[in-house]
Structure 1
């Protein structure tokens, strides 16, 4: 309950303008529905759209903690202002003026209490709230702090008003007001292209800052309008983990996909709530026929979901600027989805982290993988290369031999390398070789040893089919026991999965 109230106060203990019943004083900076108190100075203001909050609508005097507090959930536009009022006014006098504002609005006063009679101290939660930027206005919670909440029912929905009035120091009053207005969800802020033809296309969306150099949106899914790119990484081939549920004992259920990956980090103004950002992405993905594999919001995401998804230190900052070690009650949301079309498969993660304060900013990370097989044609072998390596080292890695995933079957893309090996063996008919299979360290020793031996045997069988004398070749599988490099990341593991010719 404490965290629920805390989240409610995140958008409630900031404020706006006030109408003095005796003499209103309006300003262009004030909320159009309520002016500032005469003589008050505006110190700070903030707006956030389509935000879900908890509104205190009843308190039981004298109760401690949160026992006597009744809360309701409200979604809408939140406008907050903070004012400083000089002139030796009392919180009692200012509070009476606000009660007259409630009457003028035709609203119902739900809460009117002072300090501990409120059932809990309103400012107890203030310092950890989204409205923390108003700290120059309300920096104390004395026995005269007044707390008011009102509700006005209209044909457009219910409006809620909240005021915190306190003595900052002698002769200075701090006034904070929050107004929550009913608001429809703003959609169509994200677009998805369900054609999987991949081309680099730069969007022309406006943002507060320029994208980092060399970055651009992925052609499958746009940025949220107004966002700008802060982090960008693209890899031609790697293993990408797509979560399908929350972590259990720090293990995240996930799909692992191999292919081209693109990870993009965005910043976005805190005027958009994470709920609105989340709903836009979710709506756009569904409209483009993506299958939603998993989605979660706030506490339903658990703790450190992204942090537990990858255990390698090299992936520690994969989802920048989104924090991977999110608290269980943080403003965090996530979507994972999959699309299969035109014989291509795309999987993605959308991670959203909300601004902690008004001076902070929303963060979004989009992680996309286009499922594919590794392109190994960039390294070619020829008879001269094989001869040079064998003369120098007594062995050579047979680049270009490609196997089906976790199997010993050679793929058709291996044909060019097999022809080169055959030509070399024909040029050196007296040489005999061990054909040695290697694996990475994923899986058991027994399985890896069997797989590496089977792959070595498959290479020999293909060479025999190309008229190489069987007696010249001996298959050996040593699994993971002789890595070229440490098995510390996916790229290194790929290098360790190999077949070598070793001169006898």
Structure 2
């Protein structure tokens, strides 16, 4: 008996009758991702979705040839993350499942970054590089386990969670354009745990890149005062606006209250309220937008009791970026309102 086979047998668990069967229904509150439907008859046994997180994908070099169980050059992608774990119908081979996913992805315009279909191409290394325990964090699982499907191991079963393996493993990684967005997609198919289950398992991870939601951290009065003294300005990302609009959103109230506290604590302080945009759109439109937002903030401050003669608006459009506009993260940082002492 090989060491690998011995290890698989050692991982057998005894299950109560209530949980000895494979899941028959999807895990609660789960669904296929809109861009990729499941292999026919599969059960969505594991599911997680995070509005904003960071995931690592292999680049075109695939797995490392010098480090064990590592991707050669993992690329970090941030955005909305969906993770799905499927069990195919009993008796369906990993090859049949994988080829069907390949066909569907190709038809949808999938662009392959890297893929493997054998141990020689790096699939075993890719299996370990997936870091199954890390990727399983936060996933919800259907009730059930993975029972053996042959008479020689009747009564044996394995844990369901991330029950992938390097047996008949195949992986494809790449990008898919949908609705004007470029999504990152990783798909790994193999035997579910080992050959005795007679099932194929598929893990899918899809990242929809986007900037981290801003405006969730308010700058308090003490920090505003310190920033004005140390830097001569303070950026206030807690002032929120809808895209292309100048109205201050109600969620900005807490930040406005902290600005008022600073101005009331320093009666002699006069400030510019400076609006900034990213580089999306024309210069004239962005000048008008940034000026309008600065004026809207001043209106909100005067409504809270600050004299108008202490406040001057200025629209700076995108002429003073604090980050690169090449990506959405940078553009989000550039869209801001600042207080600057006069």
Q: TM-score, normalized by length of structure 2? A: 0.51
Aligned partners of 1:310, 1:397: CA distance in 2, in Å?
Answer: 39
Q: Residue 346 of structure 1: CA displacement?
A: 0.9
| 1:270–1:360 Cα contact (<8 Å) kept | yes
Q: Residue 282 of structure 1: CA displacement?
A: 0.8
Q: Residue 321 of structure 1: CA displacement?
A: 4.1
Equivalent position of 1:171 in the other structure: none
1:228 aligns with 2:43: yes
1:243 aligns with 2:58: yes
3-state SS, counterpart of residue 275 of structure 1: helix
Aligned partners of 2:247, 2:130: CA distance in 1, in Å?
Answer: 37
Q: Residue 353 of structure 1: CA displacement?
A: 1.8
Pick aligned residue for 2:185 from 348, 370, 378: 348
Q: Residue 388 of structure 1: CA displacement?
A: 8.8
Bigger-Rg structure (1/2)? 1
Q: Residue 390 of structure 1: CA displacement?
A: 8.5
1:420 aligns with 2:256: yes
Inter-CA distance 321–333: structure 2 relative to 1 (3 Å threshold): farther
Q: Residue 308 of structure 1: CA displacement?
A: 2.9
Equivalent position of 1:333 in the other structure: 170
3-state SS, counterpart of residue 32 of structure 2: coil
3-state SS, counterpart of residue 348 of structure 1: strand
Aligned partners of 1:372, 1:400: CA distance in 2, in Å?
Answer: 19
Q: Residue 229 of structure 1: CA displacement?
A: 1.3
Aligned partners of 1:246, 1:413: CA distance in 2, in Å?
Answer: 46
Aligned partners of 1:265, 1:221: CA distance in 2, in Å?
Answer: 13
Aligned partners of 1:314, 1:305: CA distance in 2, in Å?
Answer: 14
Q: How does 1:105-120 map to 2 (within 5 A)?
A: none
> In proportion to residue count, which structure has more strand?
1
Q: Residue 232 of structure 1: CA displacement?
A: 0.7
Aligned partners of 2:137, 2:163: CA distance in 1, in Å?
Answer: 8
Which consecutive residues of structure 2, in runs of 5 or more, have no partner in the other structure?
10-21, 140-159, 226-233, 271-292, 295-310, 314-338
Aligned partners of 2:75, 2:50: CA distance in 1, in Å?
Answer: 18
Q: How does 1:291-440 map to 2 (within 5 A)?
A: 291-299=111-119, 300-309=121-130, 314-315=134-135, 317=137, 321-323=161-163, 326-327=165-166, 330-355=167-192, 356-377=194-215, 379=216, 381=218, 386-387=220-221, 400=238, 420=256, 423-424=259-260, 425-427=262-264, 428-429=266-267
Aligned partners of 1:316, 1:208: CA distance in 2, in Å?
Answer: 17
Q: Residue 397 of structure 1: CA displacement?
A: 11
| 1:267–1:364 Cα contact (<8 Å) kept | yes
Equivalent position of 2:81 in the other structure: 261
Equivalent position of 1:273 in the other structure: 93
Q: Residue 238 of structure 1: CA displacement?
A: 1.0
3-state SS, counterpart of residue 298 of structure 1: coil
3-state SS, counterpart of residue 217 of structure 1: coil
Q: Residue 415 of structure 1: CA displacement?
A: 10
C-alpha distance after superposition, 1:236-275 (max 9, x if no partner): 0111222231233134323322111100111123411111
| 2:136–2:162 Cα contact (<8 Å) kept | no
3-state SS, counterpart of residue 278 of structure 1: helix
Q: Residue 331 of structure 1: CA displacement?
A: 1.8
Q: Residue 303 of structure 1: CA displacement?
A: 3.6
3-state SS, counterpart of residue 281 of structure 1: helix
Q: Residue 310 of structure 1: CA displacement?
A: 5.7
Q: Residue 412 of structure 1: CA displacement?
A: 9.0
* Cα RMSD, aligned residues only: 4.8
Aligned partners of 2:198, 2:39: CA distance in 1, in Å?
Answer: 17
